[in-house]
Amino acid sequence: MKNSVAEQNKSDVYVSRSNWPPYTYRDYPCINPETYKSFMEFLSTENTSKKLMELQPWISICDSRCAFCYFPTTAASKAQIEPYLDTLKKELEMYAKTKYVETSVFDEIVLGGGTPSILTAEQMIDLISFCKKRFTTNDEYFIKVTGSSKSFDTKKIVKLAEYGVYQLDMGAQTFDNKLRKLLCLPDPAENVEQAIKIARKLGICVCVDLMYNLPGQTIESWISTLKKAIELDVEIDCYSLEVYPGTVLEKQIRSGLIPPLGDAEYEKQLYLVAYRLLTDAGYKAVGHDRFSRVEWHFKESCLNGWPWAGQLTTGAGCFMGYFQRFSYSNFEDINEYMAAVNAGRLPISRLSESTTEDMMRKVMTRLYLRLPVSKQEFMQKFGKLPEDVFAPQLQRLKEKRLIEIDDTEIRITKLGDIWKGNIAWEFAPKPKN
């Protein structure tokens, strides 16, 4: 079984892997008065989806800038933390008062960003407590905090553990110090290890981001990073590095200061190395890029409920908010964000309202999330089967052995796992000429 992916993969079905699906924030149109009105009307209705939601207050502030980062964050030196936190609570409160949110239940509170760990433990706990007070949580719910090993000091981790934080998400990226320097990561690998060890000792689940296909990264370096993560007993989000225009990394590569990324074949090999190493070590591939052994990661509602559940994302620069057919991102500039909230408006800058056709296509992107598409649910929502709407795409993918279809569902195959981004794009609308 172990070699079957490599065997199947000898004849590639696509030229290169797509690491992102369609319908991400990159495609959202700018908000206009009609879509804002429509969204506000939607928020005044009851949530009848019966799906649990995720609540994400973002602290889009960082104390250093990673070379590859394209997120719209504010430098800690330029941010006024307390006024920002007050504004964030105001925005959360605006949502909390709507009928849709009043009738919603959340099973995750996630401090995202940015680097929420730049806050004091007291500030983080105060924000989470506010969320717990103003939103309805499920009997079983989880608190996650994102951050960097540089600002997750021992005292902070202990306080968060005592408060009941379940998971710390850390952008470790690599344990290779040479590559850490090149990516301008703020501290050496030894610091990351230390923070992880403290959290694990206190029983906190740790999930680290690791990136592959870094400039000059050898297979040996990648394997050694993966082995270190396994040894540290953490869950892992594996991302392929994407170089965005305007980032420090892009400029350095363009000027020849550092080598370019590996080609599509090398990138795929690095992915396959991770897949084999981690699945052999007992991890299961789940969601868009995660390898985990944690039961709850397989059940998370905002993932499993896609696209019918919801993610209430708040804060400057947040871009992953969705409520069923609505997806949105907020103002990136912290001052613009604060001005909008303080003027009593939701600080949304881009808002997309999906048509029924878009929703059908979005349901098919469940395959990208390694989730099955239930024929029964599709029929309930749209009065048709996926085969009635996407016959040519399904036939093509089946012939390529990328998906399996039975009487109840459509799911990706083991070979399809490599190409799940490409699979999702098969269901995207054709670009207009």
State the residues that interact with ligand SF4 by CB under 6 A.
Answer: 62, 65-66, 69, 71, 73, 114-115, 148, 171
Q: How far is the CB of 413 from ligand SF4 (least distance, A)?
A: 33
Under a CB-based contact definition with an 8 Å cutoff, are residues 20 and 421 in contact? yes
Q: How far is the CB of 69 from ligand SF4 (least distance, A)?
A: 3
Q: Decide whether 67 or 157 has the Cβ nearer to ligand SF4.
A: 67
In whole angstroms, the minimum distance from the beta carbon of 135 to ligand SF4 comes to: 25
**What's the closest the beta carbon of residue 55 comes to ligand SF4, in angstroms?**
19
Query: Could you give phi then psi for residue 4, rounded to 5 degrees?
Result: -65, -35
Q: How far apart are CA 60 and CA 246, in angstroms?
A: 19
Minimum CB separation of residue 28 from ligand SF4 in Å reads 20
**Residue 98: CB minimum distance to ligand SF4, A:** 29
Q: Do residues 372 and 343 lie in contact, with contact meaning Cβ atoms separated by under 8 Å?
A: no
Q: Quick one: 66 or 424, whose CB is closer to ligand SF4?
A: 66
> CB of 79: closest distance to ligand SF4 in angstroms?
12
Nearest to ligand SF4 of 12, 209 (CB atom): 209
Nearer residue to ligand SF4 within complex by CB, 62 or 394: 62
Return phi, psi of residue 52, to 5°.
-80, 155
Rounded Cα distance, 108 and 165, in Å? 11
Instruction: Considering the complex, state which of residue 115 and residue 301 has its C-beta at the smaller distance from ligand SF4.
Output: 115
Distance CA(305)–CA(302), nearest Å, equals: 5
**Residue closer to ligand SF4, measured from CB, 68 or 328:** 68
Find the shortest distance in angstroms from Cβ 311 to ligand SF4: 18
Q: Report the residue number, 62 or 312, with the smaller CB distance to ligand SF4.
A: 62
Of the pair 73, 324, the CB lying nearest ligand SF4 is at 73
Asked if residue 256 lies in contact with residue 226, where contact means CB atoms within 8 angstroms, the answer is no
Assigned token pair, 49: 């989806």
In the complex, the smallest distance separating the C-beta of residue 53 from ligand SF4, rounded to whole angstroms, is 24
Q: Choose between 171 and 305: whose C-beta lies nearer to ligand SF4.
A: 171
Contacts of 55 (CB under 8 A, 6+ apart): 106, 108, 109, 110, 131, 135, 312
**Beta carbons within 10 angstroms of residue 68's beta carbon:** 22
